[in-house]
Each structure stands twice: as structure tokens, then as C-alpha cells.
């Protein structure tokens, strides 16, 4: 039996110290602005991020890194705002630091997107790109739902219903990214990008992004 699943469960456990709980991916502004107020609007928001937003590009970056391509600078350049850059680079650095018990990757001091760090480590330890991409997207979506539970506020049961409803989109996005390449990077989730930009100057904030 392969230990790839064990590694993914560890790397994407809430206990793995990347500080994901501190980031909302712009949701904090979306909640204050009234764009995300309930289960339905939260589901639509996260689905858009998966289909045509930052999580779509993250899935491609993870796969390119898994193939051995150096896409760190490209991934950083894709960030549409300061806080997008902060979110991915801070989590990428934290992931690389926490991954030290799994050798095989040379980490330098240059900023590395979170998805790229995951792709590099997964490849070094024979974790299939399909599995790593699916686990990454699931964890990212779950983190957004967790943030919304605290922000809207939304009950735990409602959050779980949203998480369950996201499963088909997570699966489709992961599968679609398998045939994507660098030319497919980018998206059209403009409301999400604008929310991330406006969060930078939001008066009262619980999250870093």
C-alpha cells in the first residue's frame, strides 16, 4: 500500500502549520459588501473561484510544478493584488518550512506560491499529480467555507452542506486542469479579485486577506 494518501492527509491537515485559518481569499470584504450572505451565495462564490478564479490557476501551477517546471515567478506574477501575493507566498513559505521532515526538495529564499510548493513536494515523494491537485482544491475550498462560517456567520451544518455541494465542481476542476497548460492560466472571477483588493483597506478585519 502506498503512503501517498497518508502524506496528503498530513500535508492538508488543519494541524499542518501553514496558517491557512488567517486568510479568507477576499471573502471578508465580500461578506461586508453583501455579496456573500448565505449558503447559496457562498456556494456560488467558491464555485466561481474554482472554475475561473485563483483556484483554477493554482491547480494548473501545481501540475506544472509537479512536472518539474519552474513556475514560481509566473505564479507570483499572476497575483492580482498585494493580498493575493501575501496569501500565496506566506503559505508557500510556511508549507516549505513545515515540509522539512520530507526531504528531496531544495527550497530557496525566493517567494514560492503555495500551489507550486505543493506540486514540488508531491512530485518528490511520488504523490500523483491528480491526487495532489484534488487534495489541494478540496483543502482550499474548505478553508474558504471555514472562513465564511465565522464571517457571515454561518452554522456548521450549513457549512457542511456547502462543502458537500462543492464536490462536483472540485472534481471537475481537478480533472479539467489535467489537460491544461501555462496558456490556460488566468481567470475571469473579477468580483473575487476586486474583493481581495478592497480588503487591503477594509476598516475592521479578522483575516489577513
DSSP string, 1-15: --SHHHHHHHHTSTT
Output the pTM of the full model.
0.97
In a domain, 209, yes or no: no
In a domain, 129, yes or no: yes
Number of domains in the chain: 1
What average pLDDT does this structure show over 59-84? 96
pLDDT in tens, 29-63: 999 999 999 999 999 999 999 999 999 999 999 99
In a domain, 9, yes or no: no
Average pLDDT of the residues of the chain: 95
The reported pLDDT for the residue numbered 137 is 98
**CATH number of residue 33's parent domain:** 1.10.4190.10
In a domain, 12, yes or no: no
At how many degrees (to 10) do helices 4-11 and 114-124 cross?
Answer: 160
In a domain, 17, yes or no: no
In a domain, 2, yes or no: no
In a domain, 190, yes or no: yes
In a domain, 159, yes or no: yes
Quick check: 1 pLDDT over 60? no
Distance between CA atoms of 147 and 150, rounded to whole angstroms? 5
Amino acid at each position: 500500500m502506498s503512503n501517498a494518501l497518508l502524506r496528503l492527509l498530513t500535508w492538508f491537515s488543519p494541524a499542518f502549520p501553514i496558517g491557512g485559518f488567517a486568510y479568507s481569499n477576499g471573502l471578508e470584504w465580500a461578506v461586508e459588501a453583501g455579496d456573500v450572505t448565505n449558503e447559496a451565495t457562498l456556494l456560488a462564490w467558491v464555485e466561481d473561484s474554482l472554475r475561473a478564479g485563483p483556484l483554477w490557476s493554482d491547480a494548473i501551477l501545481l501540475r506544472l510544478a509537479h512536472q518539474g517546471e519552474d513556475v514560481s515567478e509566473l505564479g507570483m506574477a499572476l497575483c492580482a493584488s498585494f493580498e493575493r501575493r501575501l496569501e500565496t507566498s506566506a503559505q508557500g513559505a510556511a508549507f516549505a518550512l513545515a515540509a522539512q521532515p520530507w526531504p528531496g526538495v531544495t527550497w530557496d529564499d525566493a517567494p514560492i506560491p503555495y500551489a507550486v510548493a505543493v506540486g514540488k513536494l508531491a512530485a518528490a515523494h511520488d504523490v500523483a499529480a491528480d491526487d495532489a491537485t484534488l487534495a489541494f482544491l478540496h483543502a482550499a475550498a474548505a478553508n474558504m467555507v471555514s472562513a465564511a462560517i465565522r464571517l457571515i456567520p454561518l452554522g456548521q451544518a450549513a457549512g457542511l452542506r456547502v462543502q458537500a455541494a462543492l464536490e462536483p465542481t472540485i472534481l471537475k476542476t481537478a480533472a479539467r486542469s489535467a489537460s491544461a497548460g501555462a496558456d490556460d492560466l488566468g481567470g475571469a472571477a473579477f468580483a473575487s479579485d476586486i474583493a481581495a483588493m478592497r480588503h487591503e483597506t477594509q476598516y475592521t478585519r479578522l483575516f489577513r486577506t
